[in-house]
A and B are shown apart, each in its own frame.
Chain A
């Protein structure tokens, strides 16, 4: 194993931005994300001290008041789940006044949609076996009324408890039977050849994961009811792998941040208020711009006017070259995400290829003539062409508790790339 310390580089270590970018993409695509454990969040993340009222959220830093209603609803759900309040009103007061909000990204985590994560929720732990860094994510709750879309009734809270008390321990027991964990990149590579782009569609990946977990769960030391419930949950949760893919991508992207040079995007995320990016040469800084609202297809009874502005850390998939960047890999969902026919999906990925440093040879896409996923978004190319990354996404109702009302695509706003470009100009002493 190479440590991040060993690969750390600064702008002085490279002859050109291109050279630095190639180094960033080499680390970004060269990781070995491995699922090693599932446990309560506070055991992994010290900031989630159960003695304090702290919540993680998706996207760049944000004030509670600026969060969209569904995410505020998810905060209420988390407060009820943590037992900070007994009633909804109480919970609302607490989350609005007493809770400290921290971006998931700042503590090595990623969260879908609202991304609200509290101390006692179950998190998966993914280790980048190549570089040793760690990433976390909540687990996918399935569809319907779920916390990530802002629902917080008893059904939601009950499921979160079950995930903490049954699903998490069962998977942890299953993973104990592996030698050093379960490698995720090979599965992702296979799923990409099976029609998943791993943001909008994870059916193949989730099935492959369930298949591999089945014998481990069968042999694990857990009670029979738990085995049945967990097997059932994994079998019917088509998007289960999304959160694992997010943690995998986060572990790759965070390793790449050891190269503190160049113009490659190392994180993209949104909080329903602002879209934020981090750039390899620009360290911890977030460059933000107001989020767009996703466009797409809606479930019966819903329409565009009810769509919540863009949110979630799941754009880490696109940061890694999957999701919308690799639209061409998932013909099955191109229509659903509003990309029209297959040729439109080809055109989408071809367009994304304009703004990246290269292709990820480990993520070869059969429907793109086996070219690797377009990877390593270059801020310079985004600004030059005005082509911004396209992100596949679920669409939440603007009304908390309603949940997902459709799915589609959304563009990253150009403003955060322009801001980052100007900062790069200063970094490289070229500001005019």
Chain B
């Protein structure tokens, strides 16, 4: 079925028409489509290819001719529709370089159609109304602006909750999603520690300390300083805890706040208790002892919170019916320290009777052995000098079905083996593989007593261990506490993560795609690290004339 359509006085350049012809020819049910301007030469070509018609003959050089060879009327109609649509929208918009700048939400959304976050830093008197508009358009909002009233905050957060969105702030200075810091934020290593913070610098300090401990951040969700007040009731905190609990990247959550209202603290703690992810709280109230209650661990200081979080990361997913910790140490005092911590953390009672020589702890399924004890070095070199004997012990321990957690030290420096990690990496890797094949969950936990200056080099040795499947903690006490946290999971079922997190919030945790409303430097920072962002160079509606602004809005709605 050959048909031609002539559109009078519709000029398009030949390149555009060739692109159009090719696109239309690819449609189903279409043999061929030719789109040309009606020049004499083109009309000759059309005639020669069977598209000749009186209409084509009458066409002028300024007329657009569409020749269609389609199988049936339906395909023909589709070609015509497509042709019109393509002629109307030739732009492949959005492929431009540099920071896109716009002056309205509509344009911002056009530039970044899949935006999932607005960062708002405009004067407080406009911030609330603007945040409402952004929420209604389906965006999570980080409200950096201050001078937003408590009533407005409650209204915004209530609405955000109804819409399944996060309203962070007001006066929220710090957040980070999927490694992208927003507003005031530090570039931290990616990792598994999630932070929920009602305090900007508190959040930053926790993030930075986690980074320094060699771990990393999954997300940091700022709440605004009043979220845990009586009036706001921790609305965003509860949402944020649930979102991080559902996030597969997050293995532990730190909740940071200045002292909250007691009732709100109770509510938030109750929500945290229900989570599958361990939660470390730091409320800076100067009263609480460091302690643990169910899923909650309380820390007194920010750096302590970071340490507790790093120790707890990765423990929630551990689950097996039975077994215990086996510590195979080369350093005697390190073994003693580990034994002390396990006794405290797991409230162990030593087995009756004298333990075997070299065993510094024997309590039920758990034992810590100092392989440097005389009993092991008689006629053999110390395991710090020759790691071979510990390698054998590791292989045996991993082969024992009762070993749930293998706890190790590694001592570097002068006199020690040239590559202590390398010497035990093989048996660890093989042992873990066999355990897995046998259907047993086993974790290997280690710390390294050494420095970057040591000839074995701390980071190099840590990397060897990690590659072998070892979880390396910053120090021996941390390793012991991590082992204890794992041991507490023995005999319990694997918890299930929160699952009813709204799509828009989960999307944000997938990576922020930001409309930055206000301070351009925030957008420039995001663009600088390659995060999708569009800058809305905001100015007060109608130049700040409130009456005129109202009239404009009413006319825009009419």
Using CB atoms and an 8 Å cutoff, list the residues of chain A in contact with chain B: 16-17, 32, 129, 183, 185-187, 189-190, 193, 263, 343, 346-347, 350-351, 353-354, 359, 361-362, 364, 368-372, 380-381, 383-387, 414, 418, 421-422, 424-425, 428, 430-432
Contact = CB atoms under 8 A, between A and B. Distances in A.
Nearest to A185: B9
B555 A428 contact: yes
A214 B549 CA distance: 55
27 contacts: A17-B555, A17-B558, A129-B9, A186-B10, A186-B62, A189-B11, A190-B13, A347-B101, A350-B100, A354-B102, A354-B104, A361-B87, A362-B10, A364-B90, A369-B95, A372-B88, A372-B91, A384-B541, A384-B556, A385-B104, A385-B541, A386-B539, A387-B103, A414-B543, A421-B552, A425-B551, A428-B555
B12 interface: yes
A183 B107 CA distance: 34
B9 A384 contact: no
Given A17-B558, A432-B551, 5 more contacts: A17-B555, A185-B9, A185-B11, A361-B87, A381-B104
Interface string B346-368: 00000000000000000000000
B292 interface: no
A417 B551 CA distance: 13
B59 to A, nearest CB: 12
B102 A418 contact: no
A189 B13 CA distance: 9
B543 A380 contact: no
B91 A343 contact: no
Contacts of B553: 384
A362 B543 CA distance: 34
B150 interface: no
A99 to B, nearest CB: 39
A186 B542 contact: no
Contacts of A343: 98
Nearest to B549: A384
A398 B64 CA distance: 47
Interface string B1-31: 0000000111111001000000000000000
Interface string B88-110: 11111101101011111001000
Contacts of A361: 87-90
A350 B102 contact: yes
A369 B551 CA distance: 35
Contact of A428 (B60, B93, B558): B558
Contacts of B542: 383-384, 386
Contacts of A431: 551
B46 to A, nearest CB: 19
Contacts of B100: 350
Nearest to B97: A343
A343 B97 CA distance: 10
Interface of B: 8-13, 16, 60, 62, 87-93, 95-96, 98, 100-104, 107, 539, 541-543, 547-556, 558
Contact of B551 (A16, A372, A421): A421
A366 to B, nearest CB: 8
Nearest to B91: A371
Contacts of A381: 104
A414 B548 CA distance: 13
Contacts of B102: 350, 354
A117 to B, nearest CB: 28
Given A185-B9, A185-B11, A361-B89, A351 B103 contact: yes
B131 to A, nearest CB: 18
Contacts of A383: 542, 548, 552
Contacts of B62: 183, 186
Contacts of B60: 183
B104 to A, nearest CB: 5
Given A129-B9, A371-B91, A430-B554, A421 B104 contact: no
Contacts of B12: 189, 364
Contacts of A432: 547, 550-551, 554
B57 to A, nearest CB: 14
Contacts of B543: 386, 414
B547 to A, nearest CB: 7
Contacts of B103: 351, 354, 385, 387
Nearest to A186: B11
A384 B552 contact: yes
The 6 closest A-B pairs by CB, nearest first: A186-B11, A371-B91, A370-B90, A186-B62, A189-B11, A361-B88
B558 A430 contact: yes
Contacts of A187: 11
B11 A369 contact: no
Given A347-B101, A350-B102, A430-B551, A380 B556 contact: yes
A185 B88 CA distance: 16
A33 to B, nearest CB: 9
A388 to B, nearest CB: 11
A183 B16 contact: no
A362 B11 contact: yes
B104 A369 contact: no
A32 B9 CA distance: 7
A248 B542 CA distance: 33
B552 A380 contact: yes
Nearest to B85: A361
Nearest to A425: B551
A427 to B, nearest CB: 10
Contacts of A364: 12, 16, 90
A263 B92 CA distance: 28
Contacts of B104: 354, 381, 384-385
A427 B95 CA distance: 41
Contacts of B552: 380, 383-384, 421
Contacts of B95: 369
A97 to B, nearest CB: 42
A157 to B, nearest CB: 37
B10 A370 contact: no
Given A354-B107, A383-B542, A384-B542, A425 B9 contact: no
B464 to A, nearest CB: 50
Contacts of A386: 539, 542-543
Contacts of A425: 551, 554-555
A418 B91 contact: no
A353 B556 contact: no
* Max chain B C-beta neighbours (<10 A), residue from A372, A384, A428, A430: A384
Nearest to A178: B60
B554 A353 contact: no
Nearest to A15: B558
Contacts of A385: 103-104, 539, 541
Nearest to A179: B60
A430 to B, nearest CB: 5
Contacts of A428: 555, 558
A350 B101 contact: yes
B546 to A, nearest CB: 11
A49 to B, nearest CB: 35
A15 B10 CA distance: 30
A369 B97 CA distance: 12
* Max chain A C-beta neighbours (<10 A), residue from B542, B548, B549, B552: B552
B515 to A, nearest CB: 14
Contact of A263 (B10, B101, B548, B555): B555
Given A354-B103, A385-B103, A186 B9 contact: yes
B555 A430 contact: yes
A422 B100 CA distance: 32
Nearest to A384: B552
Contact of B93 (A17, A346, A369, A421): A369
A354 B541 CA distance: 13
B133 to A, nearest CB: 12
Contacts of A186: 9-11, 62
Contacts of A129: 9
A224 to B, nearest CB: 29
B257 to A, nearest CB: 39
A348 to B, nearest CB: 11
